[in-house]
Structure 1
């Protein structure tokens, strides 16, 4: 719940929204609608993230380089 001072009512409202979203997805899947195919841009971004993960965990880059690479990868591009 992304508010400055959440209370029980905002939490309940959030849970109701999530339940509603899940119910809609459930109806769509039971009706035979499959998951949407990933877009080429999404696949490319995921590949970049996977490459950064591998390089970081192999010790080829430090934490700041890793975080900088992630930030650069997922930053919104101006159109």
Structure 2
């Protein structure tokens, strides 16, 4: 915060800029976590499809159930 103030910003502007930077980083990190969960979801759906094509209904169901949790985890990362 001192470095921002040294650049000529008033203390309240410095605090505002610092909050904006923290919010930007948090948003980026949230998006990265959601993307990771969605990537896992997509992989599970591909595996479920492969299992269905091979007639392995039990495995397909297991992949779908795990994928459902990945999808829900991604959804929970994002604001409403």
TM-score (norm 2): 0.35
Specify the structure having the higher radius of gyration (Cα): 2
Task: Compare the two structures and name the one with the higher helix fraction.
Answer: 2
Structure with the bigger RCO (C-alpha within 8 Å, sep 6+) is 2
TM-score after normalising by structure 1: 0.35
